[in-house]
Structure 1
Amino acid sequence: MTNDDLEKAMKDFTKRCSKISRLYSIGKSVTGFPLWVIEISDRPGEIEAEPAFKYIGNVHGDEPVGRELLLRLANWICDNYGKDPLAKMIVNNVHLHILPSLNPDGFSVRKRNNANNVDLNRDFPDQFFPLNEDLSLRQPETTAVMTWLRDIRFTASATLHGGALVANFPWDGTEDKRKYYYGCPDDETFRFLARIYSKSHRNMSLSKEFEEGITNGASWYPIYGGMQDWNYIHGGCFELTLEISDNKWPPASELPTIWEYNRMSMLNLVASLVKTGVHGRIFSLDKGKPLPGIVVVKGINYTVKAHQAYADYHRLLTPGQKYEVTASSPGYKPKTTSVWLGENAVTADFILIPEASSGGKLLRSNCDCNCGQPLLTHFFTDTYNGITFTLVVVVAFLCFLLQRRVRFNLWKQRQSSRRSITI
């Protein structure tokens, strides 16, 4: 498809599947061509307490297979939403955003770089070297993606490239520019996500060059200013770089075969946001309302932020392990719980207690199922303190009512079949 063909196909798609999709642009290329995105969801354009995933194709203009496969992915989901459980799961539980072409200018002249002769996958701020710090020099396509991540909180994403057959994960570079395996804090989880793609593929996991069909970026060849590392560091987004075709520009007749080889990989990667990981929301005990905060996992130096409005978080983790998960928010006492993550996702909702009362005194009670117990103990050691007794009764009763209300609200809001716990 030409750029005009692709634009028309995307507009036709959102007309045909208007109930579960919308079309929008995140910006324009150097020559002014819109960077069109299709969003697929049961409630497109709305904010929900659900994870979001993005696919980006055609980062390099001479690697067009991704743009073709992404439109096929959208059409497959539309055609199968009413009859395929996997399509239904994705539409109902994920906001999927598809940008088939980040580099329409490069594609039109069949060249790797954009119209300013810049490699877009070397144009992002780098963690090791001061590259691209001047905002005025950054390419419009790069700026569009960075703004996109500020507007939408993506849990995970993937870019589709050509020229090899492998699923690549961070880090993409090293501190000394040498080539060796350099894992990020979530190295285990990234390996897990990369294996989901490679093992669902027809032959990627059978690679003789890359064990299991996956590779650490720096171990393969270091790059700097890449989109993948920037997403993870600054966007809170777990991104893979997927090389999906040995031939960068194969004959169009091969596209149906390449699509069939990659179809389940593309679907299963998106579905992993629902099928695994620890998900939930953070609430305040004093008001029973969503509470923006952060979630950390012991032993992993990485922070996941809850949504500002809905306070939902989505923490991708490798299954088959026990994790110590802590939620916190300014002005509230952090809470920690241990979660055994099996093959299915776990919902862990946190109810946080204010650090201090309106008078500035710390609230000692945890307000859990044993709410008021420390105060009761104090009472029995001071039998004659009637005032303390009255306060104990009032605090315990209020804790009981508030906790009951919050739990009832959580019960009404929970629509997922995940194993659920409230902390």
Structure 2
Amino acid sequence: MELGSLRFAFVFALLLWPSSAAARGGDRSPFSLPRRMDEDGGMISRHLLENLPQITDDMLSGYMSNFELEMAIKEFGQRCSNISRVYSIGKSVNSVPLWVIEISDKPGEDEAEPSFKFIGNVHGDEPVGRELLIHLANWLCDNYMKDSLAMTIVKNVHLHILPTMNPDGFALRRRGNANNVDLNRDFPDQFYPVNDMLELRQPETRAIMSWVKEQHFTASASLHGGALVANYPWDGSEDARKEYYACPDDRTFRYMASVYSHSHYNMSLSKEFEGGITNGALWYPIYGGMQDWNYIHGGCFELTLEISDVKWPKSTELPILWEYNRLSMLNLAASLVKTGIHGRILSSKGGHPLPASVKVEGIDYRVNATRTLGDYHRILAPMERYEVVASMPGFQSKSTRVFVEDEATSLDFVLVPEEENSQKLDKIISNYICRCDGKDKLVLVEFLTGTHFEIYLIFIIFIFFLYLLKRKTKFKFLKHRQLPTHKRHNVV
């Protein structure tokens, strides 16, 4: 057997080793890393809360049941319908709907704005997040015409809030879902392809994966309990050791984590974690986690936020926890439009939006623009100079250098088609613009071959005449809506 195979078999055996629950560790998930090597090569485990007490009826008192949470979400949707919509992304194992609140001045509409999502109650025995997220939604509804931070989020961000990812685990008073699977170990993992079998995903996991693919989120955070720290990728390391394992956007993630930590009442004062933030693999490695999958496969910069030292505190402590975390949650969401680079990518031929990619030199990661509007939103640590490149097959790439300050920079790209691919690009662009299905295409063919053919021919001649006139004038780029937080507007 080759050395690589032996190494994989050894690590996989470790993954199957039983262990106690931890704030980020699994109960009986085959994809957590319950044990790791210490500096001397010995096996150690991390137990944030050993010998957890049974969750009693008294502990449940003051927390919303799943039914009460659903009613609270629907009541919010009715009370704040002018800035929100409520929708479901799927159901749990026990068929409980996974309700989401979207908050925006134009909910449900495509805008050239970043999207942020909060997810609570990933682990059933960590209920603080589901309560705080309802507080967050209500606070934004009550204050968006009074508070500048609330106004910034509502008008310039599409905020999506999933209060509970694991309603079954909450009802069962345990960490895992109804199948006793730790949902934060259930995502495909970059280091262990054995965890990539889609058919084995839990329904809650599949719902999140589909949601991320559909919504094009810019950034995200999941709320957990059992510690007080902002955790960022990578969550695992290649050799399963406890070590700092940086992702390509390590500097940006440290900036995001610090935004949360330093806005918190006391997270940044942590004696265990410098500045109240930590790299996941340095804390202790896990595999199959949600935040790494978001970054790799969803183009979404996600943090894992441990917001309460106690997993299931008394409900009387919830108002205090809300006040401790309120400004952190708001500042993290608002940071999407307060820094970084934002813009649109259009074709010089007709000004059509392009789903091109944006890459920063020196960072092995790409952010894609949306298909509908061609807008992109690239989070970057401030006070740095970056070389930004926009590219798409069939077009000439463009690059420029920008200095990202404490305010956001607006940077648009107009890409010029490669001459030899001009005709092919016409067809490609038309595919992005036209969303007609097969039936609509048949109706169109019937229309063109019927009694309207003469009219259509005259129309084509007229359009061609306009095209000849247009070639004599210089193409003028249509300036997109600029966020009020943007400092300057650049077109490349």
TM-score w.r.t. the length of structure 2 is: 0.76
Q: 1:327 aligned to 376, 384, 390, which one?
A: 390
Q: Partners in 1 of 2:198 and 2:143 — Cα distance?
A: 43
Partner of 1:281: 344
Matches within 5 A, 1:284-323: 284-323=347-386
Partner of 1:340: 403
Partner of 1:46: 109
Q: Give 1:416 deviation, angstroms.
A: 3.6
Q: Give 1:135 deviation, angstroms.
A: 2.2
Q: Is the 8 A contact 1:281 1:313 kept in 2?
A: yes
Q: Is the 8 A contact 1:20 1:42 kept in 2?
A: yes
Q: 1:401 aligned to 469, 474, 480, which one?
A: 474
Report the residue type matching 1:421 in the other structure: N
Partner of 1:383: none
Q: Give 1:46 deviation, angstroms.
A: 1.0
Question: C-alpha offsets along residues 14-40 of structure 1, whole Å, 9 cap, x if unaligned?
Answer: 100000001100000000000000000
Partner of 1:414: 482
Q: Is the 8 A contact 1:40 1:97 kept in 2?
A: yes
Using a 3 Å threshold, how does the CA distance of structure 1 residues 331 and 9 change in structure 2: closer, same or farther? same
Q: Is the 8 A contact 2:410 2:482 kept in 1?
A: no
Q: Partners in 2 of 1:269 and 1:293 — Cα distance?
A: 26
Partner of 2:287: 224
Q: Partners in 1 of 2:260 and 2:207 — Cα distance?
A: 27
Q: Give 1:399 deviation, angstroms.
A: 8.4
Partner of 1:153: 216
Matches within 5 A, 1:106-255: 106-255=169-318
Q: Give 1:289 deviation, angstroms.
A: 1.8
Report the residue type matching 2:366 in the other structure: T
Q: Partners in 2 of 1:134 and 1:69 — Cα distance?
A: 34
Question: C-alpha offsets along residues 65-113 of structure 1, whole Å, 9 cap, x if unaligned?
Answer: 0000000000000000111011011000000000000000000111000
Using a 3 Å threshold, how does the CA distance of structure 1 residues 399 and 196 change in structure 2: closer, same or farther? farther
Q: Give 1:288 deviation, angstroms.
A: 1.5
Partner of 2:31: none
The alignment-based identity, stated in percent, is 65
TM-score w.r.t. the length of structure 1 is: 0.89
User: Helix, strand or coil: the match of 1:354?
Assistant: coil
Is 1:353 aligned to 2:416, yes or no? yes
Partner of 1:15: 78
User: Helix, strand or coil: the match of 1:301?
Assistant: coil
Report the residue type matching 1:81 in the other structure: Y
Is 1:259 aligned to 2:322, yes or no? yes
Query: After the TM superposition, which parts of structure 1 deviate over 3 Å for at least 4 consecutive aligned residues?
Result: 357-360, 397-400, 413-417
Q: Partners in 2 of 1:273 and 1:316 — Cα distance?
A: 7
Q: Partners in 1 of 2:213 and 2:421 — Cα distance?
A: 34
Q: Is the 8 A contact 1:132 1:138 kept in 2?
A: no
Q: Compute the RMSD of aligned alpha carbons.
A: 1.5
Moved more, 284-293 or 48-57: 284-293
Instruction: Show structure 1 runs of 5+ residues with no match.
Output: 361-394
Question: C-alpha offsets along residues 336-370 of structure 1, whole Å, 9 cap, x if unaligned?
Answer: 0100001100000001111115788xxxxxxxxxx
Partner of 1:26: 89
User: Helix, strand or coil: the match of 1:49?
Assistant: coil
Report the residue type matching 1:355 in the other structure: E
User: Helix, strand or coil: the match of 1:205?
Assistant: helix
Instruction: Show structure 2 runs of 5+ residues with no match.
Output: 1-63, 424-467
User: Helix, strand or coil: the match of 1:7?
Assistant: helix
Q: Partners in 1 of 2:197 and 2:263 — Cα distance?
A: 41
Q: Is the 8 A contact 1:52 1:154 kept in 2?
A: yes
Q: Partners in 2 of 1:219 and 1:268 — Cα distance?
A: 26
Q: Partners in 1 of 2:405 and 2:212 — Cα distance?
A: 30
Report the residue type matching 1:401 in the other structure: K
